[in-house]
Structure 1
Amino acid sequence: MSPDPSAGLADTPPQDDAGIVTQSLEEPEIFAGLYDRHAPDIHRYVARRLGEGAADDITAETFLIAFRSRRRYDTARLGARPWLYGIAANLIGKHRRGEERSLRALARTGEDPVAASWSDRSDNRIAAQAPLAGALAALSPGDRHVLLLVAWADLAYEEVAEALRIPVGTVRSRLNRARRKVRAALDTDPAFTSDIMETSPSWTT
């Protein structure tokens, strides 16, 4: 008897995010693959903005919302990163006042628990984040979202536009405005500017 060429295909995990979302409509457990693929990056991004404690909750809520709304996902978009970061950005927005308080505290004192969660840097390097924290706190929420999605989440302009549901032209204008303000705030410390922008070469272009 010839083997059935379709045998076992149902057990093959999809290769792209859209496939995972689609298959999860019939097999909900498949959605865990999307979590495994993207949760570490989402968590790291939220932790840099709000701290580890908030990152645990927001990452979990991001994927819960994504799971519940997966029937509305546009499967023409093979990658789900902008969708997930958009959900996370909305949740982060609800913590805007807390984020700004933490940034101002870091700018004022050089000591803040959120900063400590950003990386394994030494105390001196954490304290050196203070000028950037002050500059970020001074940005509007919309400009800060765009800047950090590009710089810390490494999203392309088109992905940021998709995540925030704004035109690409608005992304560019917000990014340019935010970048000018940050550079102006850090103008007296070019070494620090180079250090903090190392995660996103596009900041300097």
Structure 2
Amino acid sequence: MTTDLDDEELLTRAARHPAAFEPLVARHSTALHNYFARRAPAVADDLLAELWLQAYATRRGFDPGRGPARAWLFGVARNVLSAHWRRTAKARPDLPGTARHDDPWEAVDDRLDAAAVGPRLRDQLARLPSEERELLLLVAWEQLTPTEAAAVVGIPAGTARSRLHRARNRMRAGAAPLKLTGDLA
């Protein structure tokens, strides 16, 4: 039965047997939807649908030697989100957060649970280089390992660990006396 297979086996098998792709959708839709909901809540459902269309269409391009299937899926998600931001910036250059092809940090406050530290945390995240910020958020929010986050961003795992360490240090340095908990600390 295909549901007993791990993600990498399912994705590899899906290249020849499309039905093997279905368990991946069931296993990862919630986490991927959360990824989109934290970054673009108004269109998270649409982005998730686009992700699954693109992932299915490009499933033959998955190489288990380059990393786990979960990281590959988050990489597809990141590409879908980037394309969405580019389209939004072209269609509505007047909207906040669309001047650059980057995460619209002006709206992060509204989505943070810790309202008391939201402005300061947002400020610190905005000051991070985009790749460091993305690595930090993939590890903290999406709970990917640094190696998986490296595969999503498309850099070597050692480089990702170094940049993640640098991002955490920058957050600590700029956040004192703000106490960071969990994966951000």
- Using the size of structure 1 for normalisation, the TM-score is 0.71
Match of 1:56 among 45, 59, 62: 45
Q: 1:40 aligned to 2:30?
A: yes
Are positions 1:129 and 2:131 aligned together?
Answer: no
Tell me the equivalent position of 1:8: none
User: Structure 2 CA distance, aligned partners of 1:78 and 1:176?
Assistant: 21
2:135 to 131, 137, 146: 146
Cα distance in 2, alignment partners of residues 76 and 171 from structure 1: 18
Structure 1 residue ranges without an equivalent (≥5): 1-10
Instruction: Please report how far the alpha carbon of residue 13 of structure 1 lies from its aligned counterpart in structure 2 after TM superposition.
Output: 3.5
Shift of 1:105: 5.1
**SS in structure 1 at match of 2:169:** helix
Cα distance in 1 between the residues matched to 2:155 and 2:143? 17
CA gap of 1:105–1:154, structure 2 versus 1, over 3 A, is: closer
Contact 1:14–1:20 at 8 Å: present in 2 too? no
Q: Which has the larger radius of gyration?
A: 1
Task: Report the Cα distance in structure 1 between the residues aligned to 2:50 and 2:15, rounded to whole angstroms.
Answer: 19
> Within 2, Cα distance between the matches of 1:105 and 1:73?
33
CA distance in 1, matches of 2:14, 2:161: 35
Mapping of residues 25-104 of structure 1, within 5 Å: 25-51=15-41, 53-75=42-64, 79-94=68-83, 95=85, 97-98=97-98, 102-104=104-106
Deviations 1:71-100 (A, max 9, x none): 121245784111011111223334284496
**Residues in 2 aligned to 1:136 and 1:28: alpha-carbon distance in whole angstroms:** 40
SS in 1 for 2:115: helix
Q: Select the residue among 160, 173, 176 that pairs with 1:187.
A: 176
My pick for the range that moved more, 131-140 or 21-30, is 21-30
TM-score normalised to the size of structure 2? Answer: 0.78
- Residue 93 of structure 1 aligns to which amino acid in structure 2? S
Q: 2:124, 2:174 within 8 Å by CA — same for their partners in 1?
A: yes
Distance in 2 (alpha carbons) for counterparts of 1:177 and 1:129: 21
Shift of 1:142: 0.9
Identify unmatched segments of 5+ residues in structure 2.
87-96
CA distance in 1, matches of 2:161, 2:3: 37
Offset at residue 132 of structure 1 (A): 1.1
CA RMSD of aligned residues (A): 2.7
Q: How many residues align?
A: 172
From 7, 13, 17, the equivalent of 1:23 is: 13
Matched to 2:13, the amino acid is Q
Q: Post-superposition shift, 1:67?
A: 0.6
